[in-house]
Chains A and B, each alone.
Chain A
C-alpha cells in the first residue's frame, strides 16, 4: 500500500523540472548551512514568494532540499573550520575538527556525508512506512518525559568534560548561566538582560558556538603566530579507508536510531540526539584514546543523528500539522499558501503531494551525496590557505553571519565579547564544548521541569509518573554511577594505573594550554 503510493510519488517527483528544483534546493541549502547565522528557516522564508508562481510539488521539493541541504552544509564548516553552521552540528566539530587538524579532514567529511545519506535514507523510509503509528506514541511523550531526556543528556555531557572535571563543570555552569539570559518562557519575565532589549530573546546558540569555537580559536592562533614556525597540516589520504568504514557504519546506524525518534517527538529537537550519540560512541569505541584527538566515530554518529532527526521532524508535520522546527513552521506556511491545511487529514486529501514530497526527500538525499563527495577534495584545500588569511576569512564569515540576522551592531559586540571569553578559556585549558551544551540543555531542562510541575500544580511525583520517564531516569542514573560502582567493585588494584593515566591527562591539558600554533 505505502510502497505503491511511494512509487507513485517517485513518478511525480522525477520530472525534469522537479529534479531541477530539488537540485536548486540542495545547492541553496548547502550554501546556507555553511554560513553561520543564515539558516534554512530564513532561506525558505525568503523564498516563500516563489510559491506564488510555482506548482506546489516543485516548491515543496525545493524547500525540502534546502532543509536537508542545510543539515549537510553545517557539518562542513564544523569539521574544517571549527565553525558550526547550526546548533545540531556542534558535536560534529569536537572530533571532526581534530581530525581535520590531524590531516584527516577528507575522511571526516566523507563519513559525515555518507552518514548523513545513510541516516537520511533510513529515516525517510521510516517516515514513509511507519509515520502514523509512530506519531501516536510520540504524542504521548509528556513534559515530564522531556525533562527526563534532558537529564539523560546532561549525563552525556560527562563525556566531553575533558580530563579535569572541575574545569569541565565550571564551563558547563557558564553555559547554563548564559542559557538563563532572556525572557522566561513560562512567566514572560526578563532575566539577566541588563535592560538591553536585544538580550530579551536570549543569546543565540549558534552565535555562542561560533564565538567560543571559531572566534576564540582565531584569536588564540593570532596570539601565537609570532612564536615558532607555522605548522603545516600534513594531509593524508583523500578518502575513507577500509578501517574508517569499518569504524563508521555502526555509529551511522546508532546515530539514526537516536535521531529519528527525537525528530518525531514534538519537542525533541536535533541537538539532544547528537549529544547522546557522541556519548554512546565514546563509551562503545574500541579506540577510547582517540576521543578528543579526532575519533571518526565521534563524527559519524552525531552527523547521522542530526540528519535522521531532520527527517523525523516531518512526521508530526505531515501527520498532525505540528511544526516542530523553525524550518518546518515555514514549510507549513507554504502549505497554507496553497490552501492546503496539513493536519490529520492531509494524507487522505493531498496524498499524491505528500508522497511526491517524501520521494523527493530520497532524491535530494542522493543528490547531496553525489554533490558532496566529489567536493570533499575541494573543501579540504581550504585548509591549505595560509593561516592568517584563513582565520581572517573565518572571522569575516562569523561576523557576517551574526550581523545578517538582525543587522544590529550589538550582535557583533556579543560575538566579540564571547569570542574573547573563548580565547581566555582556550588559553587556560578550559574545555568550551560543555558551555555550549549547557546553553542548549539548560533551557530545555528548566522549561520542561517547570511546565511539568505547573501542570501537576507542584506535585513532584509527576516526574516519575510515566514508565517512559522512569526508564530514562534509571538509564541516566546507571550511566552516572555505573562507572563509579564498577571502579569500587574492581577494588584498589586498578587504581595506580588509572592514577597514572589521570596524571598523564593532566599534563596533556597543561601542554595543550601552552602549546604553540593549533590550540587543543
Chain B
C-alpha cells in the first residue's frame, strides 16, 4: 500500500493528537499528580479571598510549578457553602482559599461542616487591620478615643465590614481590653470597605475598622486619621500609625488567609500539596506579590497551621459570644 500524501498528512496530524490525549488522560488519572490544580474561592469575585487565590494562581503558573490552575467561585454564607462542598469532594488536586472570616461564619451560620472536617494545608498571608476616625474627629490617639468610647458606647457608632467578620471581632476584642461591655458596642455593618469608607468621609460614624488596603490611602492623604494598626508590628503602608499594643491595649488581630483541602486524604497526597504551596511561597514572584499587596508573610503549614486554626476558633467563638452574635 502506497503511502499517499493524504494518508501521510493524516497520520502526522493524528500522532500528536493521540499522544496529547494520552498525556491528558495520564494527568487526570495519576495519583499525586498536581500539574493540574483547582482552587475554590468560597466568595464572590473581587474580594480578599479571590484576590489572594488569583495571585497564587498567577505565581504557580508563571513559575511552572503547575501547568494549569483553575480558580472558581462558590459564593455564599461567609464561605460555609464552599467548605460544605469541599467536604464532599474526592479530588486531591483541589485547594480551598479561606481565612479568619470563615472561622466566625461557621459559628454564626451554624455550619454542619467545621474546620476540623477538612484538611489544613497552609496559612499564606495576613492583612493588617486599621482603626481610623474621620478627619473632623476630636480624637487623635487610640487612648483618647477609647476614653470617649467608654463614656458613651451606644453613642459611638463604629463602622466596619460584614457582621461577624474580622472588623467586628477586632471591635469586640478592643472593647473587652478597654473594659467596655462588648454587648454595648454599636457596630454598624457595611457590606464592604468602600461603603464604610464613604460613611467615614461623610463624618457619619465615630470610627471605622477595615484593612490597611481600604483605609490606608485616605490616612496617607489626611482625609482620615489613623489611630492604630492591629498587628504586632507597624504596617509599612501607614508607618506613622502606632500598634494597638503600643497604645496600651493587649489586642492583636491579623486578618489571615490560608488553604484547606478535602477531608480524608492520604498523608502522601497532603505532603504533596504542602510541598507545592511551599515551592510557590519560596519564589521571588510571591515575594513581589506580598510587597505589591501590602500582605504580611505569615506562612506556616500542616499541623502547625492546624493548631493555629484551633486557637483562632476558640478565641473567635469567645468574642462572638460576648458580642452576642452567637449563643
Chain A positions near chain B (C-beta within 8 angstroms): 41-42, 44-46, 48-49, 52, 139-143, 183-190, 197-198, 200-201, 266-267, 316, 320-324, 326, 329-330, 332-333, 336-337, 339, 341-345, 405-407, 451, 454-455, 457
Q: A143-B199, A185-B191 are in contact. Are A49 and B217 (CB under 8 A)?
A: no
Q: Are B204 and A322 in contact (CB under 8 A)?
A: no
A-B contact pairs, 23 of them (CB 8 A): A41-B44, A41-B46, A52-B58, A139-B198, A143-B199, A188-B325, A200-B81, A266-B194, A320-B218, A322-B198, A323-B192, A324-B195, A329-B47, A333-B50, A336-B292, A337-B292, A345-B220, A406-B81, A407-B74, A454-B186, A455-B186, A457-B154, A457-B186
Q: For the complex, is B319 an interface residue (Cβ under 8 Å from A)?
A: no
Asked if B298 is an interface residue, CB under 8 A from chain A, the answer is: no
Whether B202 lies near A142 (C-beta < 8 A) is: yes
Q: Whose C-beta in chain B lies nearest to the C-beta of A326?
A: B46
Assuming A188-B325, A200-B76, A329-B192, is B221 touching A343 (CB within 8 A)?
A: yes
* Chain A neighbourhood of B154, CB < 8 A: 457
Determine if B84 is an interface residue (Cβ-Cβ < 8 Å): yes
Distance, CA A320 to CA B46, complexed state (A):
18
Whether A185 and B186, one on each chain, are in contact in the complex, defined by CB atoms closer than 8 angstroms, is no
The CA of A333 and the CA of B213, in the complex, are separated in Å by: 11
Which residues on the B side are within 8 Å of A45 (C-beta)? 45-46, 50, 54, 73
In the complex, A461→B40 CA distance in Å?
47
List residues of chain B with CB within 8 A of the CB of A139: 198, 201-202
| A190-B109 contact, Cβ under 8 Å, with A326-B44, A326-B46, A329-B192 | yes
A41 contacts which chain B residues (CB < 8 A)?
44-46
Pair A188/B162 contact, Cβ less than 8 Å: yes
Q: Does A323 lie within 8 Å of B76, measured CB to CB?
A: no
Contact A341 B217 (CB under 8 A): yes
| Residue B263 at the chain A interface, CB threshold 8 Å | no
**Judging by beta carbons under 8 Å apart, are A200 and B202 in contact?**
no
Docked complex Cα distance between A333 and B164 (Å): 24
Bound together, the chains give a CA A189 to CA B107 distance in angstroms of: 11
Is there contact, CB below 8 Å, between A321 and B217? yes
A185 lies within 8 A of B57 (CB): no
Find out whether the CB atom of A142 lies under 8 angstroms from the CB atom of B189: no
Would you call A188 and B189 a contact (CB within 8 A)?
yes
A-contacting residues, B255-313, CB 8 Å: 292-293
Asked if A267 meets B163 with Cβ closer than 8 Å, knowing A343-B217, A406-B74, the reply is: no
Interface presence of B126 (CB below 8 A): no
| Residues of chain B within 8 A of A186, CB atoms compared | 163, 188-189
CB distance from B105 to the nearest CB of A (A): 9
Number of A-B residue pairs having CB atoms within 8 Å of each other in the complex: 143
Write the nearest CB–CB distance from B120 to chain A, whole angstroms.
22
Q: Is the CB of B223 within 8 A of A197?
A: no
Residue of B at shortest CB range from A267? Answer: B195
A381 to B62, CA, bound (A): 46
As a 0/1 sequence over residues 205 to 224 of chain B, the CB contacts with chain A under 8 angstroms (1 = contact) are 10000000100111011010
In this assembly, does B130 line the interface, its C-beta being within 8 Å of a C-beta of chain A?
A: no
Closest to A46 in B: B45
Closest to B325 in A: A188
B51 within 8 A of A: yes
Q: Which residue of A lies closest to B72 (CB)?
A: A407
Please name the residue on chain A nearest to B194 by beta carbon: A322
B108 is an interface residue with CB less than 8 A from chain A = yes
Residues of chain B contacted by A183 (CB below 8 angstroms): 77, 109, 163
Q: How far is the CA of A322 from the CA of B155 in the complex (A)?
A: 26
- A48-B54 in contact (CB<8A): yes
Please name the 7 residue pairs, one residue from A and one from B, whose CB atoms are nearest each other, closest first.
A188-B163, A45-B45, A343-B217, A266-B198, A200-B77, A330-B46, A329-B46
The interface size bin for chain B is 35 or more
B157 near A: Cβ within 8 Å?
A: yes
A505 to B47, CA, bound (A): 49
Decide: B189 and A406 in contact? CB cutoff 8 A.
no
B197 within 8 A of A: yes
A142-B204 contact in complex given A42-B45, A185-B189, A451-B188, C-beta closer than 8 Å = yes
**Chain A residues in 8 Å Cβ range of B57:** 49
The smallest C-beta distance from A454 to any residue of chain B, in angstroms, reads 6
A198 touches B81 (CB 8 A): yes
Taking CB atoms and an 8 Å cut-off, the chain B residues in 217-253 that contact chain A are: 217-218, 220-221, 223
Distance A22 CA – B148 CA, assembled complex (angstroms): 53
Closest-by-CB residue of B relative to A462 is B204
Q: Which residue of B198, B205, B213, B293 is within 8 Å of A455 (Cβ)? A: B205
Chain B residues near A52 (CB, 8 Å)? Answer: 58, 62
| Docked pose: A143 CA to B188 CA in angstroms | 11
A49 near B50: Cβ-Cβ < 8 Å: no
Q: Tell me which of A188, A339, A406 has the highest count of chain B C-beta atoms within 10 A of its own C-beta.
A: A188
User: Given A185-B163, A336-B293, A197–B76 Cβ distance below 8 Å?
Assistant: yes
In the complex, what residues of A have CB within 8 A of residue B33's CB? none
B75 within 8 A of A: yes
Decide: A201 and B188 in contact? CB cutoff 8 A.
no
Q: Which of B50, B77, B84, B192 has the most CB of A within 10 A?
A: B77
Give the CA-CA distance A30 to B108 in the complex, in Å: 39
**In chain B, residues 158-217, which have Cβ atoms closer than 8 Å to a Cβ of chain A?**
162-164, 186, 188-189, 191-192, 194-195, 197-199, 201-202, 204-205, 213, 216-217
A341 and B217 alpha carbons, distance in the complex (Å): 8
B80 at the interface (CB under 8 A from A): yes
Q: Which B residue sits closest to A452, measured CB to CB?
A: B204
Which residues of the other chain, B, contact A406 by a CB distance below 8 angstroms?
73-76, 81
> A323 near B111 (CB under 8 angstroms)?
no
Shortest distance in angstroms between A130's beta carbon and chain B's nearest beta carbon?
Answer: 18
- Taken together as a complex, chains A and B put the C-alpha atoms of A345 and B45 apart, in Å, by 26
- Minimum distance in angstroms from A294 CB to a CB of chain B: 36
Contacts A44-B45, A201-B75, A407-B74 known; list 20 others, CB within 8 Å. A139-B201, A142-B204, A143-B199, A185-B189, A186-B189, A187-B325, A188-B163, A197-B111, A266-B195, A267-B195, A320-B197, A322-B194, A322-B195, A322-B198, A326-B44, A326-B46, A332-B46, A333-B50, A406-B75, A457-B186
Residues of B within 8 A of A141 (CB): 202
- Say how far A455's CB is from chain B's closest CB, in angstroms: 5
A322's closest neighbor in chain B, by CB? Answer: B194
Complex: chain A residue closest to B59, CB-CB: A52
CA distance A341 to B214 in the complex (A): 10
Residue with the greatest number of chain B CB neighbours at <10 A, chosen from A42, A322, A330: A322
**Residue contact B221 to A345, C-beta cutoff 8 Å:** yes
Complex Cα–Cα for A41 and B62 (A): 25
Min CB distance B122 to A, Å, is: 22
Q: How far is the CA of A323 from the CA of B188 in the complex (A)?
A: 19
Q: Give every chain B residue within 8 A of A184 (Cβ-Cβ).
A: 163
Q: How far is the CB of A39 from chain B (nearest CB, A)?
A: 10
With A45-B45, A139-B202, A336-B213 already in contact, the answer to whether A323 and B77 are too (CB < 8 A) is: no
Q: How far, in angstroms, from A322 to B80 measured CA to CA in the complex?
A: 27
Determine if A198 and B46 form an interchain contact, defined as CB atoms under 8 angstroms apart. Answer: no
* Given A323-B194, A344-B221, residue A200 in contact with residue B109 (CB < 8 A): yes
CA distance A455 to B186 in the complex (A): 8
Q: Which residues of A contact B74 (CB under 8 A)?
A: 406-407
